[in-house]
Amino acid sequence: PEPKLQISHLDAYFNDRHVVRDITLSVPQRRVTAIIGPSGCGKSTFLRCLNRMHEHVPGARARGAVMLDGVDVYHPSINPARLRRHVGMVFQKPNPFPTMSIRDNVLAGHRLNGTHVDAPGELVERCLRQVALWDEVKDRLGRPGVSLSSGQQQRLCMARVLAVEPEVILLDEPSSALDPIATAHIEELIEELKERYTLVLVTHNLQQAARVSDYMAFFYLGNLVEFDRTDVIFTNP
Ligand code: ADP
Ligand code: ADP
């Protein structure tokens, strides 16, 4: 498949600490690429360079190129807030907005962007169906998002990302705070989403990467040490 993201010679720092080191990697379109490696090896920092969240941390900087469909996301003309409509992100800890209802959480991305939604009810239903949450919550859309179980909250956060129709979804350990059943739900969802989206999944769980990814990138001490198709990695002796 065509590359959706082309990362070249990407370096990232926290002050003098060089935590992402000269990474060059193409992320294929409409596939799941897993970023795997031990804790502290730079996976999350790398992911945050892709949607320019990294630069918001005090002392943080990045160097190199990240091309999204051939557009350099670090070009001065790029507005990082608008970039995030194209590149959405889901975090380890489910983080619905605590004061918002289930419904308003799904619409939150549009509210923050100030974009107009023609049929909000339909959008909410469609996104909640996509994450297999609709039947569970359709009778209580006005209840707080945080009233849901943590697995449901994570699916709500996925629905919030889907509502703005990004092309790329970055997932930073999306199930590591969840129980095994909720984890299975998230993995199923990831497999469904790759038909329409390009997914980059940070995980320290090799079994999870083996189950859901099409490509695997192994990080070690900030370096990319191997990148290949998941089936190739698991069939080679
Ligand atoms: P991983 O996701 O692989 O666990 P991270 O990208 O979170 O790794 O971290 C890479 C390195 O950067 C680690 O040494 C970590 O301690 C350091 N680091 C992460 N976040 C910060 C921060 N906000 N300030 C300073 N150092 C950080
Ligand atoms: P909108 O943000 O309303 O979709 P545009 O398509 O004009 O409008 O997007 C412009 C902004 O989208 C840029 O400032 C940039 O932040 C972001 N962007 C980044 N990569 C791309 C891309 N591959 N295609 C389109 N827009 C991109």
Residue nearest to atom 13 of ligand 1 (CA): 40
DSSP secondary structure, 65-115, as one string: EEEETTEETTSTT--HHHHHHHEEEE-SS----TTSBHHHHHHHHHHHHT-
Tens of pLDDT along 50-104? 999 999 999 999 999 999 999 999 999 999 988 999 999 999 999 999 999 999 9
- With beta carbons less than 8 A apart as the criterion, state whether 121 and 134 touch: no
For 11-59, how does the pLDDT look when each residue is reduced to its tens digit (9 = 90+)?
999 999 999 999 999 999 999 999 999 999 999 999 999 999 999 999 9
What is the three-class DSSP state of 121?
A: helix
- Which atom number of ligand 2 is nearest to the Cα of residue 115? 3
Which ligand 1 atom is at minimum distance from the Cα of 172?
2
SS3 of 157-194: HHHHHHCCCCCEEEEECCCCCCCHHHHHHHHHHHHHHC
Report the C-alpha gap between 66 and 26 in whole angstroms: 10
pLDDT, residue 112, reads 85
Mutate to test the pocket of ligand 2, among 67, 68, 86 (most ligand atoms within 8 A of CB): 86
Cα 134 to chain centroid distance, Å, stands at: 21
List, for residues 188-202, the tens digit of each pLDDT value.
999 999 999 999 999
Q: Distance, CA 14 to ligand 1 centroid (Å)?
A: 8
pLDDT tier at 113, thresholds 50, 70, 90: confident
Spatial separation of the C-alpha atoms in residues 209 and 223, rounded to whole Å: 19
Query: Closest-lying ligand to the alpha carbon of 221?
Result: 1
Residue in 29, 77, 83 to alter for ligand 2 test, most ligand atoms within 8 A of Cβ = 83
Which of the ligands is closest to the CA of residue 70? 2
Residue 88 burial (CB count, 10 A): 23
Amino acid at 220: Y
- What's the 44 CA to ligand 1 centre distance in angstroms? 7
- Residue 183: CB partners within 8 Å, gap ≥ 6? 151, 175, 208
Report the separation in Å between the CA atom of 17 and the middle of ligand 1, taken as the mean of its atom positions.
9
The answer to whether the CB of 143 falls within 8 A of the CB of 116 is no
Ligand 2 centre and the CA of 167: distance in Å? 11
Q: The pTM is what?
A: 0.89
Element (H, E) at 64: strand 60-68
Residue 56 CA, ligand 1 centroid: distance in Å: 14
Query: Is the CB of 83 within 6 Å of ligand 2?
Result: yes
